[in-house]
Amino acid sequence: MKLKSVEIFNFKSIKHEKFEINNNQICFVGKNESGKSSIISAISYLNILDKELSFNLLNKSSDDYPNGLPIIVGIFHINKNLYPKLYELLSEYLDTQYIVALDKNCENCLLQIKRWGNGLSNISLSLYSKDSFGLKIPDEMKNKSKFYDLFFNDIYPAIEYFENEDLLIEPSTVEELNGDDKKFETFRKLLIVGGCNDFNIFKNNDINFVTTYLSDIEIKLNQIFKKHYKQDQSINIKIVPALGDRLNLIIRDNSNKSYSINERSPGFQYYFSFLVNKLYSQKISGKKNTIIILDEPGQSLHPKGSKDLLKSFEEISETSQIFYTTHNPFLALRNCVDSLVFVEKTPDEGTKIRKKSYLNKYQILRNELGIMLNDSFLIGDINLIVEGNTEKLALHRIFQFEKYRELEWMNIYNADGVSNIPQAINYLGKNNLNLSGIILLDSDTEANNIKLKKFYKNNISQANWEEIEINSVYNDKEERTFEDLFPQDIYISALNNYCKSLENLDIFDKPYSDLVYTEKLKTPIVNIANEHFKKFISAKSTSNITKQDVIRHLLDLIDQQDDKVQQKNLVDVFKLFDKIKTSFLKIERYVSN
* H or E segment and range at residue 272: helix 266-285
* Distance (Å, whole) CA 28 – CA 332: 9
For residue 26, which of 299, 295, 324 has the smallest C-alpha distance?
324
* Distance (Å, whole) CA 280 – CA 188: 10
Half-sphere CA count of 352, side-chain side, radius 13 A: 9
Q: What is the pLDDT along the chain (593 residues), one digit of tens a residue?
A: 899 999 999 999 999 999 999 889 999 988 888 899 999 999 999 999 888 999 999 999 898 888 899 999 999 999 888 889 998 999 898 888 888 878 888 888 899 999 999 988 899 999 888 666 688 888 778 788 899 999 998 899 989 888 766 667 888 888 989 998 888 888 888 999 899 989 999 888 888 898 899 999 999 988 888 887 776 778 888 888 766 678 888 888 887 788 888 787 777 787 788 888 888 877 776 667 889 999 888 777 777 778 778 888 888 888 889 999 988 777 877 666 678 888 989 888 899 988 664 455 666 666 666 654 444 445 678 899 999 889 988 998 898 888 888 887 778 888 888 988 988 888 888 777 788 899 999 999 999 999 998 878 887 888 889 999 999 999 888 999 999 999 999 999 999 999 998 887 778 889 999 999 999 999 999 999 999 999 999 888 888 899 988 999 999 999 999 999 999 999 999 999 999 999 998 888 767 55
CATH node for 373-482+573-592? 3.40.50
* Distance (Å, whole) CA 361 – CA 214: 49
**Bridge pairing between strands 71-78 and 25-29:** unpaired
Residue 152, φ and ψ in degrees, nearest 5:
-70, -30
CATH node for 1-157+299-366? 3.40.50
* H or E segment and range at residue 135: strand 133-136
* Distance (Å, whole) CA 450 – CA 455: 9
* Distance (Å, whole) CA 98 – CA 319: 32
The separation between CA 64 and the C-alpha centre of its own chain, rounded to angstroms, equals 35
* Distance (Å, whole) CA 167 – CA 169: 7
* Distance (Å, whole) CA 491 – CA 529: 9
For residue 76, which of 101, 43, 35 has the smallest C-alpha distance?
43
